[in-house]
Structure 1
């Protein structure tokens, strides 16, 4: 576990930080190895990140160092689906994503959930590596409409059994 990291439910005061971290992590993702996304897509995704904390306030878990939020994860949609994991680029590769996912998995186990799903861009090799290290496996790869991006993207669906 990461030393000094606090994991807790998101508070209303966290909305702006959650949106900013999600957007910064999205912009730095290796999902865009083929080139930077265009300005229309960037604006669309920024709006989606700005809106999401208010739409899902009871489903977001944040990670903080000394009170400063550095990452977050969300359960949105099906009760067994982790919809989001975002860690600020300056804090990536420090175990924060793993700690957030572990926290959500423990909550799901307590709820009696036996299988968890998570999706990401097919070219987001960093996320795929993390999820595989956590025991997820790819069960589907293909084109899928992304509501937050407003376009079709190549995605992977991953799952992990709990128990």
Structure 2
């Protein structure tokens, strides 16, 4: 199936909201405190896309929104990578990370950072595979969930050449 990564538009909000929320339910919801789970909804993802589409990339697989990635603050930090469950293992996460890395390099940054829940083994494995190294690990307050979560902070040097 063909894979295309492109800039988001506000019109992607509903489909990206569905994809992001499905990914969150499968991968993140089970590893966060129960009292925090209700704070994230499909609308949380949709409004994110409507508010800052210029910081978001959409991955389409066979014309369907299969995932999204973002640099929420427009800097060198990848804030979000979400791949809908039916599209995992198809290279979507890799494509989103690589395209975001290109955007970050074009902004003039020499490195890229990403934070991930330390218990999210699948995501950690992907980022390590893509050349990210662990910088630190510890509790970090998540403003969206309103609680501290054990988080791994990773970085990749963009000047060393990619695989």
Question: TM-score, length-normalised on structure 2?
Answer: 0.89
Counterpart check, 1:13 vs 2:11: yes
- Could you say what secondary structure the match of 1:152 adopts? strand
Counterpart check, 1:43 vs 2:57: no
RMSD between aligned residues:
1.8
1:59 to 55, 62, 72: 55
User: What stretches of structure 1 move > 4 A for 4+ residues in a row?
Assistant: none
Structure ranking higher on relative contact order (CA contacts 8 Å, 6+ apart): 1
Partner of 1:143: 139
Question: TM-score, length-normalised on structure 1?
Answer: 0.89
- Give 1:97-108 correspondences, 5 Å limit: 97-108=93-104
Q: Which consecutive residues of structure 2, in runs of 5 or more, have no partner in the other structure?
A: none
Cα distance in 1 for residues equivalent to 2:62 and 2:124: 29
Partner of 1:87: 83
Cα distance in 2 for residues equivalent to 1:123 and 1:18: 24
The structural deviation recorded for 1:112 is 2.2
Q: Which consecutive residues of structure 1, in runs of 5 or more, have no partner in the other structure?
A: none
Counterpart check, 1:24 vs 2:1: no
- Give 1:61-80 correspondences, 5 Å limit: 61-77=57-73, 79-80=75-76
> Deviation string for 1:88-125 (max 9, x for gaps)?
01111111100111111122223321010000101000
How many residue pairs get matched? Answer: 158
Cα distance in 2 for residues equivalent to 1:30 and 1:21: 13
Cα distance in 2 for residues equivalent to 1:22 and 1:37: 19
